[in-house]
Amino acid sequence: MKKFVSMRSWLLVFPAFLFLVLFFLIPLLYIFVESFISKGGFSFFHYQETFSDSAFRTIYFRSIKISFLVTLLAVALGYPSALVIAKMRPNKRAFIMSLIILTLMVNSVARTFAWFVIMGRFGLINQFLSSLSIINHPVKILFTEQAIIIGLLQLFFPLMVLPLVSALENLPAGVEEAARSLGASKSKAFFRIVFPLSTEGLVLGGTLVFTGSITAYTTPAILGGNKVLMLSTLLYQKSMVLFDWGGATVVSIVMLLTTIALNRALHQFKPKYS
């Protein structure tokens, strides 16, 4: 009887399982194998060629640097914001949260394009600076690392704030006051009570923003262009422009492994108690 139930459950699960094995797992394994094949045999050729290319190394470390800075800025802006939001009255908080979620729902092309309007040659910033006679010629803001960082920060900021707010609003009411009334200083109450309880949100938000930034395509494509490549735009260029499929598979394997490693590494910081 038990075996029968188990069989029947498997029947329910099987279509989804089969679909993912066929179209998700096998293609991933396929590009993994493909990255080790050159001239019909097994070789590390594509890896050697990719890693010995100084442009690739620059792009790889730039991607990590940009994603790290975006995460850092998201924490710097997100943590204070989340503290304020978590202490708001419920209906006010719900309104703010729905605004944040709304930005998350808007198409990334539309969101990134807005920065084009602001950063372009005749964009808001250049108009403003030249109207104050600070500059004579339009300054170049687009197609720089800074432009990508600003774009990614605006794109992924909600993914930092949402987990932080939900961690902070689960804080039992009055714990901070209790610590204070027992003689802890304001900063001590924060670092010993509030902060440790919010680490789970911080780790989740950090993981989402970091891995989101390092794999994002739209923002580096629009705001970085061909000038400032990241791993994602490099992958596109290698495959769809240069048709260097061997190199492209290596870039995608490197990107995949980096993402998984980051996920694992940040997971270590998760508090053990919960």
Partner 1 sequence: MKKQWLSLSILILTFIFLLGPFLILFISAFGSESTIIFPPKKFSIFWFQKVLNMHMFQNAFKTSVFLATASTFVALIIGVPAAYASNRFSYWGKETLNLFFTSPIIVPGLIIGFSLLRFFVLFGNFSIFLGLFIGHTIILLPYIIRVVSASLSNFDTSIEEAAVSLGASRLKTFFLVVLPNVRSGVTAAFILAFITSLNDVPVSLFLSGPGVAPLPIQMLTYMEYYFDPTITALSTILIVFTIFIVQVAEKTLGLSGFLSGRRNEIS
User: Which residues in 212-241 contact partner 1 (CB under 8 A)?
Assistant: 212, 215-219, 221-222, 232, 235-236, 239-240
Structure-token match 């620059």, residue found: 58
**Looking at 155, 164, 168, 229, which residue binds partner 1 (CB under 8 A)?**
155
Angle between helices 108-119 and 124-131 (to 10 degrees): 20
**Looking at 53, 58, 101, 267, which residue binds partner 1 (CB under 8 A)?**
101
User: Of residues 173-202, which lie at the interface with partner 1 (CB under 8 A)?
Assistant: 186
Closest C-alpha to 116, from 221, 22, 212: 221
Structure-token match 């998760």, residue found: 270
**Looking at 179, 189, 203, 208, which residue binds partner 1 (CB under 8 A)?**
208
Give the Cα separation of 204 and 233 in Å (integer).
26
When asked if residue 157 is in the footprint of partner 1 (CB under 8 A), the reply is yes
**Residue 143 Cβ vs partner 1, minimum distance, rounded to whole Å:** 13
Give the Cα separation of 30 and 127 in Å (integer).
51
For the residues of 214-240, what is the DSSP string, one character each?
HH--HHIIIIITTTS--HHHHHHIIII
**C-beta neighbour count of 82 within 10 angstroms:** 25
Q: Which CB, 101 or 175, lies closer to partner 1?
A: 101
> What is the separation of C-alpha 187 from the centre of its chain, rounded to a whole number of angstroms?
30
211, burial (CB in 10 Å: exposed 0-12, middle 13-18, buried 19+): buried
Q: Which CB, 9 or 48, lies closer to partner 1?
A: 9
When asked if residue 80 is in the footprint of partner 1 (CB under 8 A), the reply is yes
**40-48, 61-69, 94-102, 130-138 -> range binding partner 1 (CB under 8 A):** 94-102
User: Of residues 5-44, which lie at the interface with partner 1 (CB under 8 A)?
Assistant: 5-6, 8-10, 12-13, 15-17, 19-20, 23-24, 26-28, 30-31, 34
CB 175 within 8 A of CB 258: no
**Looking at 36, 49, 127, 129, which residue binds partner 1 (CB under 8 A)?**
127
Q: Classify residue 42 by its DSSP letter.
A: E
Closest C-alpha to 199, from 269, 261, 262: 269
**48-56, 61-69, 130-138, 247-255 -> range binding partner 1 (CB under 8 A):** 247-255
**Looking at 38, 130, 144, 166, which residue binds partner 1 (CB under 8 A)?**
166
User: Of residues 131-150, which lie at the interface with partner 1 (CB under 8 A)?
Assistant: none
